[in-house]
Amino acid sequence: MIRRHALTLGLVLAGMTAACGPDIDLTKALDFKVTESGYFDDGIHDGKTRLLPTITFQITNKSDASISSVVLLVTYHQDGADGELDSVQAEGIGSAGLAPGASTAAAEVRCPHGYTLEGARADFFTNSLYRDVVAKVFARKRAGYMPLGAFKIDRRILEPTARTPGLQ
């Protein structure tokens, strides 16, 4: 009787694992494309201009199967700094899935921390405290995070838009 229960439990667990299917190599299955990058103007804080590194992106499914439930981790790094400036976790592909060959709508990920500098916005990139920022993007479905790429943030201030801010 105990053996039958153990065998049944083993078959149920094996069936659940098979139903989940193999994990996908997201580095090969997804094409992550940054469509715009720059610094979001977050306004004046304590008399200083606050600008936040931002990327806008699309994801294309290059595989021959639908992909769903992909989480992104975007880490922001200043040139020459030890460690990251900040990171943001965001939904890359929702539970509805992304069909083979299809692309997501444009989405935006904004670093919560950036630069708060005195002076005019026009002088931002020549300020001695400014250092370029790189966004490193990682994707996860079930296994650990897989790198999708590193993207230097363009030296430009993004114009406000009417589009939905997306992922922040």
How far is 35 from 52, CA to CA, in rounded Å? 17
Amino acid at 144: G
Predicted local distance difference test score (pLDDT) of residue 57:
97
Question: What phi and psi, each to the nearest 5 degrees, are found at residue 157?
Answer: -95, 125
Report yes or no: 126 and 72 within 8 Å, Cβ to Cβ. Answer: no
Question: What phi and psi, each to the nearest 5 degrees, are found at residue 41?
Answer: -80, 105
Of 92, 121, 111, the C-alpha closest to 168 is 111
pTM beyond 0.95: the answer is no
Predicted local distance difference test score (pLDDT) of residue 34:
97
Predicted local distance difference test score (pLDDT) of residue 23:
76
Place domain 22-158 in its CATH homologous superfamily. Answer: Immunoglobulins (2.60.40.10)
10-residue block means of pLDDT along the chain (168 residues)? 44 40 84 97 90 97 97 96 94 96 96 90 89 97 93 92 48
